Amino acid sequence: MTKLRILTSWVEISEKAYAHNLNFFKSRLSPDTEFSVVVKSNAYGHGFLEIASLAIKYGADSFCVHSLDEAICLRKSGYNQEILIMGPVLLDRLPEVLENRFRLVLYNLEAIDKLKKLTDKNGRTVKLHLKLETGTYRQGIEEKSLPVFLKKLNQNPRLQLDGVYTHFANIEDTTNHEYAFRQLDLFTRMAKIVKNEGFADVKLHAACSAAVLLFPETHFDMVRLGISQYGLWPSRETFVSYKIKHSANGIDVLQPVLSWKARIGQIKPVPPSQNIGYGGTYQTTRESRLAILPIGYADGYDRGLSNQSYVLINGQRAPMRGRVCMNLIMVDITDIPEVNLEDEVILLGKSGNSRISADQLANLCGTINYEFVTRIGPSIPRIITE
């Protein structure tokens, strides 16, 4: 931990909590189901390579990423597992997909034509995963267009159809899963068309975190575990649905992996009736002491937390005073004894019997836990702890 003494702000990643979460999810899967973890967007803010190392250590079979560059970073870092690129790859960069043996999402006929030319020229094969449109209306192939894609794939044996998948639009934010099951029915029907057209061994996958938690029938041949590997519930509704299914077992199922910390940069006495920060949005009502922390909205500490949130110091709450600045925030330590320069402060995580959760901070600034943790600045060091 000596490295922490030279950092003004850092993120700690609990190996113990991450291992707990992966072991829990593995226990819910059939041994034949591929366990893929989604590490896009800096592993939802938790640290791309740090999480990748833990994922493989604790039983993940493969990775899902958004971009070609994320996939290349994993390969260059020594990860030889299967990597599915789920976001768009420009046609001119498709040679890099072949060179690095990535799985590639497919939903454009132009990509098939380009890949045919490339594979005919270099004799390589490429693994493709058809994204099926079942009701989310982002990327995907509608049922009426599916025969054209399958015909082209059948004509090009070097274009290997490795997987067929979809994504649920409304499985997290509701306790009524009727729409999700309509999607599931359509996916099952489209997958049957694929298999009947000569792709009997294709791998089916549809399950995100909420689906893995709630509906074993969505697991198929592979799951894509996202937010919940990090110990965060996809939504309050998912938690409620899980608790209904499993009685009292819902509380400690997932363990948050991430803590965000900083050190006090200055301690400042402030007289009564003084305005704090830009716009003077807070005025002191008594002799006060402020701690100035080297964190702001440039680091992902949302400006919507101005005058709303608090941090933990010595297990006690220190409320935000004034607006969140680009690189600084001010907190009130008047009622907390024995606070010193460069003491550790908890922005997100646990101190003593108190905890600040990603859900709390997200609620305060009108967003979701996904966004809050993903936006924690990538330049802030991620440190794996026990």
Domain ranges (residues) in the chain:
33-250, 258-385
- CA dihedral 358→360→366→370, nearest 10 degrees, is 20
Q: What is the CA radius of gyration of the chain?
A: 24
Task: Copy the structure tokens of residue 98.
Answer: 């072949």
Cα–Cα distance, 349 to 46 (Å, whole number): 13
Cα–Cα distance, 255 to 22 (Å, whole number): 10
Neighbours of 246 (CB within 10 A): 12
Of the candidates 31, 72, 61, the residue with the CA atom closest to the CA atom of residue 224: 61
DSSP H helical segments within the chain, as ranges? 15-27, 40-44, 48-57, 68-76, 94-100, 109-122, 146-154, 178-196, 209-214, 236-246, 358-364, 369-374
Return the pLDDT at 245. Answer: 85
Which among 18, 268, 278, 297 is annotated as catalytic? 278
Parallel, antiparallel, or unpaired: how do β-strands 83-85 and 103-106 relate? parallel
Cα–Cα distance, 142 to 175 (Å, whole number): 27
Cα–Cα distance, 128 to 72 (Å, whole number): 17
Name residues whose C-beta falls within 8 Å of residue 364's C-beta, 6 or more positions apart in sequence. 304, 305, 308, 309
Which among 18, 40, 79, 261 is annotated as catalytic? 40
Let me know if 230 is a catalytic residue.
no
Return the pLDDT at 43. Answer: 98
Low-confidence ranges of the chain (pLDDT < 50): none
Q: Decide if 231 contacts 256 (C-beta within 8 A).
A: yes
Return the pLDDT at 248. Answer: 57
CATH architecture of the region 258-385: Beta Barrel (2.40)
The dotted CATH code for 33-250 is: 3.20.20.10
Q: SS3 of 319, please?
A: strand
Q: pTM to 2 decimals?
A: 0.95
Sign (positive or negative) of CA dihedral 189, 191, 194, 198: negative
Fold equal for 33-250 and 258-385: no
Let me know if 203 is a catalytic residue.
no
Of the candidates 368, 374, 381, 375, the residue with the CA atom closest to the CA atom of residue 173: 368
Cα–Cα distance, 174 to 179 (Å, whole number): 10
Task: Copy the structure tokens of residue 282.
Answer: 């807070």
Distance of CA 79 to the CA centre of its chain: 19
